[in-house]
Amino acid sequence: MNPYFLFLIYLVIINIIAVIVTVCDKYRAKHNKWRIKESTLLLISALGGSIFMYITMQIIRHKTKKIKFMLGIPLIIILQFLIFYLVKFYVL
């Protein structure tokens, strides 16, 4: 199986997880329930769910006042694109 296709499937899955976890954390915040750790949210972002997590946070207005997320996730996105570029053009 093509490794690019597998990578694409992975990105789709991790971004779906990112959306679900973000929406779940917002729901829990509104209902004063146990919350998902910020480190878990950032880890999911770093594992490839950064773009959809950022979009979801903007749409549902979740963690938009936290500098850690509003600067951190775009920084993760930039680093991910840089790593992808370097791997694609210099390693392969």
29-57: pLDDT as tens digits: 999 999 999 999 999 999 999 999 999 99
Q: Which pTM was predicted?
A: 0.91
Phi/psi class of residue 64: alpha, beta or left (left: φ > 0; alpha: ψ in -120 to 50)? alpha
Whether 91 has a pLDDT exceeding 80, the answer reads no
pLDDT class for 78, splitting at 50, 70, 90? Answer: very high
Handedness of CA 25, 73, 51, 3 (dihedral sign): negative
Q: For residue 61, give the DSSP letter.
A: T
| Least confident range of 12-26, 28-42, 47-61, 78-92 | 78-92
CA 53/CA 77 separation, integer angstroms: 10
Averaged pLDDT for residues 72-90:
93
CA 89/CA 46 separation, integer angstroms: 21
